[in-house]
A = this chain, B = another copy of it.
Amino acid sequence: MSGLSHSEVTVFLLSIGVMLGMARAMGELMRRLHQPAVLGEILAGVILGPTILGMLNPMASQFLFPMEGPVAVAREGLVTVGIVLFLLVAGMEVDLSTAFRQGKAALSVSFFGMAIPFALGFGAAWLAPGLLMKVPEGRELVFALFFATALCISALPVIAKILLDLNLFRTDMGVVIVASAIINDLAGWLIFAVVLSMMSTAAGAEGGAGMSVTTSIGLTLLFAGLTLTLGRWVLHRILPWFQAHLSWPAGVLGMAITMALLFGAFTEWIGIHAIFGSFLFGIALGDSRHLRERTRATLDQFISTVFAPLFFASIGLKVNFVESFAIGPVVVVLLIATLGKVLGCTLGAVLAGMNRQESWAVGFGMNARGAMEIILGLLALDYGVIDQPMFVALVIMALATSMTSGTLMQRVLKRQAVVNFADLLNARCFVRSMKAQDRRGAIAELSNLIVAGTSLDRAAVEEAVWARELTMPTGVGSGVAIPHARIKGLTLPLIAVGISDDGIDFDSPDGAKARIIFLILTPENDNGAQLQILAGIGRMASNRKVPFKLAESSGFTEFLATLRADQAEGQAH
């Protein structure tokens, strides 16, 4: 509590509260627009930093986010811990066994997916650096190596999310993509570690504890090799001991974070950045099947919600994105990065024997760069290897590729995103206390509601649902019923929900009256949507407690809140 004065503590807490709040709010906004949350988190920093707040009100910006002095140092310390822990979680997502399983195809995709962008990037930065930035004399090689590496790294977390959204995660193609991204991540970061140790030496700083580049590279490779073999083996053996003999989950959580910090300190000491150490430790830890889902979820949730947004927002504080925007580098970087990655990965997939459509999908999927690119760029900026316009170009490239990757894959595969029935609910199509007392009445009441504001014919809808109901009753047990029909001319699925206080008999197998009735209309030819909606509601109803709680909701918001929380908890298990 000493070290920072009273007013410094006030500013420090206020500033990180504002950063976190803004980052979370913008992250949620982006999620609503089906964009990666990291985009919003970076935007939050742009708003609070020199780009916007600094322009509108330099005093406020300087007061809240000073670039020097104790408040700045305390903020940097917290952000550094944030990025180290974020890389721990990112490493835990890397599943080495997946990479082994699809060995051949993944090797082919990741090899060409790295070699081609690397060659293109190196060529461009070496032969025509002027297109990108004014490279300081004597730094040509380091810059070219950095630029080549930056172009060849993918972003596993973003890719995994896209595959989940498209329901491709467990398909053969999905596994190939994830496996390639894992190999790509691992190899890319190793190359980057080497480039980093060159950068820190080139920077002429006190870096690397005075080691030569060769020593630093040798130590890096040795350390990575040991962590991924011996380290993994030891962790797998001691985790059960931690769980058996220490308090749970504090024992494992505390160990994971302690080790991530110590590994980070070690790699920082040998001259590459701290994030490399915590990333490697994360891989070794996440690979053990003894790490329980709950522990993984607690680490992931807290770090992704608190530390990662703080880190990404802090980026915008350092750079003026408007002043440092230069169209030249942005276009060149985007072009080379996309061309190299998409062509390289597609080629790799074709050579591994995948068909053309799938190969293009692999190429587009692997093009997402996400957060990793930005972290790389920030380090290069700190070491003075790149200038601000080049950094801005890298950030824009990373965000643009992440934002388009999913859409492009979807186009190539003509695949629709998975429908989550909760996304289709809205307050207008919700009745807290239904008037109807029987099946027919309930269907009529909800049909009336669902057609309001559409061009659908009420009578036709009611008739179609009732006809379907007569072929087989739709009570699914646990007090839930799902009357439904396919409707000609409909383009998107619609759902109306009613809660019946007394319950309505929908002839459910468990004999219980239905208290929650979902009326579901789907387009005539969209088999997938109907199946996904029915399966989603079925899964929800399989835990008796959830329908019971839903039926007691005081209104739509509480109803949706219960549903969302149940879905999120189901995913975490």
Task: Please give the residue numbers on chain A whose beta carbons come within 8 Å of chain B beta carbons, in ascending order.
Answer: 1-7, 9-14, 16-18, 20-21, 24, 27-28, 31, 37, 67-68, 70, 72-81, 83-84, 200, 205-207, 239-251, 253-255, 257-259, 261-262, 264-265, 268-269, 274, 290, 292, 294, 297-299, 301-302, 304-306, 309, 318, 378-379, 382, 556-565, 567-569, 572
Residues of chain B lying within 8 A (CB to CB) of residue A268: 6, 9-10, 13
Residues of chain B lying within 8 A (CB to CB) of residue A305: 249-250, 253-254, 257
Shortest distance from the beta carbon of A552 to any chain B beta carbon, whole Å? 12
Report whether B200 and A4 are in contact in the complex, using a CB–CB cutoff of 8 Å. no
Q: Name 18 A/B residue pairs within 8 A (Cβ), A-sorted.
A: A5-B206, A6-B205, A9-B80, A13-B84, A13-B262, A17-B265, A20-B261, A21-B262, A24-B250, A24-B258, A74-B76, A75-B77, A243-B564, A245-B560, A248-B565, A248-B568, A290-B558, A290-B561
Residues of chain B lying within 8 A (CB to CB) of residue A304: 250
User: What 7 pairs between A and B have smallest CB-CB spacing?
Assistant: A74-B77, A17-B261, A3-B76, A243-B561, A244-B560, A24-B254, A14-B265
Shortest distance from the beta carbon of A558 to any chain B beta carbon, whole Å? 5
Shortest distance from the beta carbon of A148 to any chain B beta carbon, whole Å? 22
Residues of chain B lying within 8 A (CB to CB) of residue A562: 243
Given A253-B301, A298-B302, A565-B243, CB of A13 within 8 Å of CB of B80 = yes
Residues of chain B lying within 8 A (CB to CB) of residue A84: 13
Give A306 to B9 CA distance when docked, in angstroms. 20
Report whether A78 and B76 are in contact in the complex, using a CB–CB cutoff of 8 Å. no
Shortest distance from the beta carbon of A541 to any chain B beta carbon, whole Å? 19
Report whether B254 and A306 are in contact in the complex, using a CB–CB cutoff of 8 Å. yes
Shortest distance from the beta carbon of A428 to any chain B beta carbon, whole Å? 15
Give A31 to B248 CA distance when docked, in angstroms. 12
Shortest distance from the beta carbon of A26 to any chain B beta carbon, whole Å? 11
Helix, strand, loop or mixed for chain A's interface? Answer: helix
Per a CB cutoff under 8 Å, which of B4, B205, B572 touches A76? B4
Shortest distance from the beta carbon of A198 to any chain B beta carbon, whole Å? 15
Give A3 to B76 CA distance when docked, in angstroms. 6
Given A31-B247, A302-B302, CB of A76 within 8 Å of CB of B265 = no
Report whether B206 and A382 are in contact in the complex, using a CB–CB cutoff of 8 Å. no
Per a CB cutoff under 8 Å, which of B77, B569, B572 touches A77? B77
Given A9-B274, A244-B557, CB of A301 within 8 Å of CB of B250 = yes
Report whether A28 and B246 are in contact in the complex, using a CB–CB cutoff of 8 Å. yes
Given A9-B268, A10-B265, A250-B304, CB of A21 within 8 Å of CB of B80 = no
Report whether B241 and A561 are in contact in the complex, using a CB–CB cutoff of 8 Å. yes
Per a CB cutoff under 8 Å, which of B14, B72, B75, B200 touches A6? B200
Given A73-B73, A250-B304, CB of A80 within 8 Å of CB of B565 = no
Residues of chain B lying within 8 A (CB to CB) of residue A28: 246-247, 251
Per a CB cutoff under 8 Å, which of B12, B247, B382, B561 touches A1? B382
Give A31 to B564 CA distance when docked, in angstroms. 37
Give A386 to B564 CA distance when docked, in angstroms. 51
Give A239 to B268 CA distance when docked, in angstroms. 41
Residues of chain B lying within 8 A (CB to CB) of residue A242: 561
Report whether B249 and A294 are in contact in the complex, using a CB–CB cutoff of 8 Å. no
Q: Looking across the interface, which residue of chain B has its beta carbon closest to that of A302?
A: B302
Q: Looking across the interface, which residue of chain B has its beta carbon closest to that of A553?
A: B240
Shortest distance from the beta carbon of A268 to any chain B beta carbon, whole Å? 4
Report whether B24 and A265 are in contact in the complex, using a CB–CB cutoff of 8 Å. no
Give A73 to B20 CA distance when docked, in angstroms. 21
Residues of chain B lying within 8 A (CB to CB) of residue A2: 76, 318, 382
Shortest distance from the beta carbon of A147 to any chain B beta carbon, whole Å? 20
Give A329 to B270 CA distance when docked, in angstroms. 49
Give A70 to B71 CA distance when docked, in angstroms. 10
Residues of chain B lying within 8 A (CB to CB) of residue A74: 73-74, 76-78, 80
Given A253-B301, A258-B24, CB of A1 within 8 Å of CB of B378 = yes
Beyond A243-B560, A248-B564, 20 additional pairs, beta carbon < 8 A? A1-B382, A2-B318, A6-B200, A13-B84, A14-B262, A31-B247, A75-B77, A77-B77, A78-B78, A239-B561, A240-B560, A240-B561, A241-B557, A241-B561, A244-B558, A244-B561, A244-B563, A253-B305, A298-B298, A298-B302
Per a CB cutoff under 8 Å, which of B11, B17, B31, B70 touches A73? B70
Give A27 to B258 CA distance when docked, in angstroms. 14
Report whether B248 and A206 are in contact in the complex, using a CB–CB cutoff of 8 Å. no
Report whether A81 and B80 are in contact in the complex, using a CB–CB cutoff of 8 Å. no
Give A245 to B559 CA distance when docked, in angstroms. 11
Residues of chain B lying within 8 A (CB to CB) of residue A200: 6
Shortest distance from the beta carbon of A207 to any chain B beta carbon, whole Å? 5
Shortest distance from the beta carbon of A269 to any chain B beta carbon, whole Å? 5
Residues of chain B lying within 8 A (CB to CB) of residue A20: 254, 257-258, 261
Per a CB cutoff under 8 Å, which of B7, B18, B265, B557 touches A240? B557
Most buried by B among A67, A70, A565: A565
